[in-house]
């Protein structure tokens, strides 16, 4: 029989899969946990009890909703509640109220069916620039949400200028005829069934298919009055000539894009005394024009309106052309499903296409300017992975544009790194073939975390300089069980603990403490109340401290109906704080009074539910909320009231004390256990296998009666072990009271028999 003293100094490998119960050889086994519920594994090594979710309000009519962030600055940030045809706004741990005292909201075209897919995953994404949030949602035209103040929001249709465009027609037998004027309303007639009802609102670009027949402009040549010439990719009309009997062009090539300009003036032609060079050229068009379809009269006929600034070429008036191109977005062609910013360009993705705006001009999608392709013009690329499921699910802006499709991961970047990104300097590079879902990726440091197709794995896509390639390791490899039955959405909280939060399809909340540089990747689970379901997540900066706040939509079943709360994750207890300020209750509230009170009102959201209470730092007996209130057994000034949740962890099986070889499978007994804690109060330690527990903390005889529990930091020594002999051997720690507990290390004296 061997007897050793063993210390577990780190608990930051998180909960690992039951498949690893027999892997003490694993490097992270000694810092891992068989179970981690309600504790946050910290990068530094400790396991800290999570704070409670503080109640802020309810969703409209307790209905389901989707969250998006709107961050103007660290001091001014909002969580947007998108519900059935409305948007509401949350900020500074409260709901935005208008001047009349009512909840402020604006109308929205999005239904719940638009916002959520069949698996209840959000379909809407946003990309923000300043006070404007651009929105993409599968099956719905893009829109933009503008903010001029807390109660001055406007949601408008997003109508990009000059594009983007679908495939250009190449069949010369399929033509479209134009009748009408260069500007204003026109009628388009096709010689085939070109139009669908879903084309209403779509752009259509019409190019002069006989444009090449227009003679190029030349200098010092004789021309006839009122003729057309093409120059610098544009069409010009001869309006006036210099004095003389003949029309002769000058030496200055027309390149202007507005009004009329002389190509030469006042110089007598050497070969004749009767003519002077110089013609006044009026800019007409770049060889093409753009219309927006307003009505579909039949499959071969539509009415349209010429888009301002894109007049139709004179040559198209009363003529037909086979050079036509529908806009990329419409009810007939579909709409983008996701958006992001990349290289100072607003970028959308949908189907197998990625569309970017012009550089620095987010609402301009011109792929050519007056017929010429420039570096800053819009870019359109096709993304194909070769896996057969190439529909774009998500975009993430990294050092390159990461495009996540159903069949794999692709990066879009410059072909030549020394030149700016543009239409003629773009490269599409497939990277891996895992595929992903339409859950918004989370940017964490220099990589992004995304949900793999199937919803059960999270992968970290980042550039690996050692291999000069992008890699996508599975960060759920050691905890494959924790994502069942699939992930709905992600939200990354950078401060204070670098945690990726995930809402599961069953309503459970799970977290990943992740720091690539410190090689920490620790999963943990969290129950919200006793039966709460988390359905939406968002993270915005806290307005009053240098941290990020996690907002969650929590659904609670009570009295035969579903209540949906908007809650913010509380820190629990600030470093150096007093135990009376501890907040370890879910969907809870704080009630403070200058004088001690017994009745605690304004708890209507918890009607009929059993709540736990922390009053002036002391845990009081649980009560059931009736008529929106509870009555304390003793008056108190500072009261925390909310739903209870249990935090518990269990270490991995012990590998210690054997005199020869492994201790796995051998009978072992923990003789004593010692905890090193930080600013903690309450809790139990024991044997999960035996189901025996004992209190970690006991009140000191020097403590005053009716005073709150003391916060303890340091070693709590040599606690006699309540368990007996067992083959596994693990330590369990749990806390069900609304009090803090932060475990820094566990010291155990272990006896192990020989096999």
Strands (E), 438-516: 442-444, 447-451, 458-464, 469-471, 487-493, 499-504, 509-515
Tell me the pLDDT tens digit for each residue of 239-269. 988 776 788 888 899 999 889 999 987 776 6
CB distance 583 to 572 below 8 Å: yes
Residues 6+ apart with CB under 8 A from 751: 1, 2, 3, 657, 668, 669, 671
Tell me the pLDDT tens digit for each residue of 317-351. 888 999 999 999 999 999 999 999 999 999 999 99
Beta pairing partners, 40: 48
Residues 6+ apart with CB under 8 A from 134: 126, 127, 128, 142, 143, 144, 145, 158, 339, 346, 362
Tell me the pLDDT tens digit for each residue of 563-583. 999 999 999 999 999 999 999
Q: Would you say residue 536 has pLDDT above 60?
A: yes
Distance (Å) of CA 382 to CA 166, 344, 401, 422, 430: 11, 20, 13, 15, 12
pLDDT of residue 177: 94
DSSP calls for 201-238: T-EEEEE-TTGGGSPBP-TT-EE-TT-EEEETTEEEEE
Average pLDDT, the chain: 90
- Per-residue confidence at 477, pLDDT binned at 50, 70, 90? very high
CB distance 324 to 207 below 8 Å: yes
Share of the chain above pLDDT 70, in %: 95
Q: Would you say residue 271 has pLDDT above 70?
A: no
- Per-residue confidence at 744, pLDDT binned at 50, 70, 90? very high
Provide the pairing of β-strand 469-471 with 458-464.
antiparallel
Tell me the pLDDT tens digit for each residue of 111-149. 999 999 999 999 999 999 999 999 999 999 999 999 999
Q: Would you say residue 520 has pLDDT above 80?
A: yes
SS3 145: strand
Residues 6+ apart with CB under 8 A from 383: 349, 352, 353, 354, 390, 392, 403, 405, 410, 412, 428
Q: Would you say residue 717 has pLDDT above 70?
A: no
Distance (Å) of CA 161 to CA 169, 203, 290, 307, 365: 21, 10, 10, 9, 6
How distant is the alpha carbon of residue 188 from its chain centre? 42
pLDDT of residue 173: 94
Q: Would you say residue 553 has pLDDT above 60?
A: yes
CA trace torsion 175, 181, 183, 189 (10° rounding): -30
- pLDDT, greater one: 481 or 662: 481
Q: How many CA atoms lie within 13 A of 754 on its CB side?
A: 3
Provide the pairing of β-strand 32-37 with 14-15.
parallel
pLDDT of residue 108: 97
> Is the CA virtual torsion 206, 210, 213, 214 positive or negative?
negative
CB distance 680 to 697 below 8 Å: yes
Mean pLDDT of 16-40: 92
Between CA 556 and CA 644 the distance in angstroms is 13
Share of the chain above pLDDT 90, in %: 68
Phi, psi of 604 (to 5 degrees): -60, -30
Beta pairing partners, 280: 240, 262
Q: Would you say residue 11 has pLDDT above 60?
A: yes
pLDDT of residue 69: 97
pLDDT of residue 1: 59
pLDDT of residue 552: 98
Q: Would you say residue 370 has pLDDT above 90?
A: no
State pTM to two decimals: 0.91
pLDDT of residue 233: 82
Mean pLDDT of 32-42: 96
Tell me the pLDDT tens digit for each residue of 617-675. 999 999 999 999 999 999 999 999 999 999 999 999 887 656 666 767 778 788 888 89
């Amino acid at each position: 029989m061997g007897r050793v003293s063993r210390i577990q100094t780190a608990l930051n490998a998180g909960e690992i899969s039951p498949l690893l119960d027999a892997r003490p050889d694993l490097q992270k086994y000694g810092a891992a946990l068989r179970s981690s519920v309600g504790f946050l594994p910290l990068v530094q090594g400790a396991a800290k009890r999570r704070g409670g979710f503080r109640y802020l309000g309810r969703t409209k009519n307790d209905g389901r909703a989707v969250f998006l962030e709107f961050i103007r600055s660290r001091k001014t940030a909002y969580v947007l509640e998108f519900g059935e045809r409305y948007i509401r706004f949350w900020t500074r741990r409260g709901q935005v109220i208008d001047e009349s005292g009512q909840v402020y909201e604006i109308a929205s075209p999005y239904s719940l069916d638009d916002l959520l897919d069949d698996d209840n995953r959000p379909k809407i994404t946003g990309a923000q620039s300043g006070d404007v949030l651009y929105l993409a949602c599968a099956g719905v035209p893009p829109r933009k949400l503008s903010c001029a103040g807390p109660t001055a929001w406007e949601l408008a249709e997003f109508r990009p200028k000059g594009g983007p465009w679908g495939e250009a027609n190449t069949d010369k037998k399929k033509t479209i005829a134009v009748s009408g004027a260069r500007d204003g309303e026109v009628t388009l007639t096709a010689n085939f069934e070109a139009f669908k009802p879903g084309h209403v609102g779509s752009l259509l670009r019409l190019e002069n298919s006989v444009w090449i027949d227009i003679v190029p402009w030349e200098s010092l040549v004789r021309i006839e009055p009122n003729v057309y010439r093409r120059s610098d990719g544009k069409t010009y009309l001869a309006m006036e000539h210099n004095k003389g009997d003949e029309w002769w062009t000058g030496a200055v090539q027309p390149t202007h894009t507005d009004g009329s300009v002389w190509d030469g003036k006042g110089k007598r032609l050497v070969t004749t005394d009767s003519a002077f060079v110089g013609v006044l050229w009026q800019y007409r068009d770049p060889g093409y024009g753009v219309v927006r379809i307003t009505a579909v009269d039949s499959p071969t006929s539509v009415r349209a309106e010429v888009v301002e600034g894109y007049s139709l070429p004179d040559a198209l008036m009363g003529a037909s052309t086979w050079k036509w191109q529908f806009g990329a977005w419409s009810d007939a062609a579909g709409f983008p499903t996701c958006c992001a910013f990349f290289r100072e360009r607003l970028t959308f993705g949908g189907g197998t296409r990625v569309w970017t705006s012009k550089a620095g001009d987010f609402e301009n999608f011109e792929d050519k300017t007056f017929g010429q392709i420039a570096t800053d013009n819009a870019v359109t690329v096709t993304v194909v992975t070769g896996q057969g499921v190439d529909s774009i699910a998500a975009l993430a802006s990294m050092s390159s544009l990461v495009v996540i499709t159903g069949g794999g991961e692709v990066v879009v970047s410059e072909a030549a790194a020394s030149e700016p990104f543009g239409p003629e300097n773009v490269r599409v590079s497939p990277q891996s073939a895992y595929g992903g879902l339409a859950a918004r990726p989370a940017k964490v440091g220099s990589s992004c975390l995304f949900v793999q197709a199937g919803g059960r794995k999270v992968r970290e896509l980042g550039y690996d300089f050692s291999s000069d390639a992008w890699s996508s390791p599975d960060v759920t490899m050691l905890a494959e069980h924790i994502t069942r039955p699939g992930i709905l959405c992600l939200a990354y909280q950078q401060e204070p603990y670098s945690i990726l939060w995930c809402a599961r399809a069953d309503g459970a909340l799970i977290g990943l403490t992740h720091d690539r540089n410190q090689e920490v990747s620790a999963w943990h689970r969290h129950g919200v109340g006793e039966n709460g379901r988390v359905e939406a997540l968002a993270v915005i900066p806290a307005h009053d401290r240098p941290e990020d706040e996690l907002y969650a939509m929590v659904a609670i079943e009570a009295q035969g109906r579903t209540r949906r709360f908007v809650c913010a994750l509380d820190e629990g207890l600030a470093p150096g704080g007093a135990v009376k300020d501890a907040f370890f209750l879910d969907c809870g509230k704080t009630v403070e009074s200058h004088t001690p009170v017994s009745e605690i009102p304004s708890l209507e959201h918890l009607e009929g539910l059993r709540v736990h209470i922390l009053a002036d730092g002391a845990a009081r007996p649980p009560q059931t909320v009736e008529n929106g209130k509870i009555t304390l057994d003793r008056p108190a000034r500072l009261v925390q009231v909310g739903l209870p949740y249990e935090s518990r962890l269990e270490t991995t099986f012990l590998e210690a004390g054997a005199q020869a070889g492994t201790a796995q499978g051998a009978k072992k007994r923990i003789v004593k256990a010692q905890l090193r804690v930080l600013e903690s109060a309450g809790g139990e330690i024991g044997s999960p296998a035996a189901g025996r527990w004992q209190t970690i903390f006991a009140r000191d005889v020097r403590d005053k009666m009716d005073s709150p529990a003391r916060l303890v930091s340091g070693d709590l020594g040599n606690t006699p072990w309540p368990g007996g002999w067992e083959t596994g051997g693990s330590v369990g720690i749990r806390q069900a009271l609304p009090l803090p507990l932060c475990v820094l290390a566990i010291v155990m004296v272990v006896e192990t028999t020989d096999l």
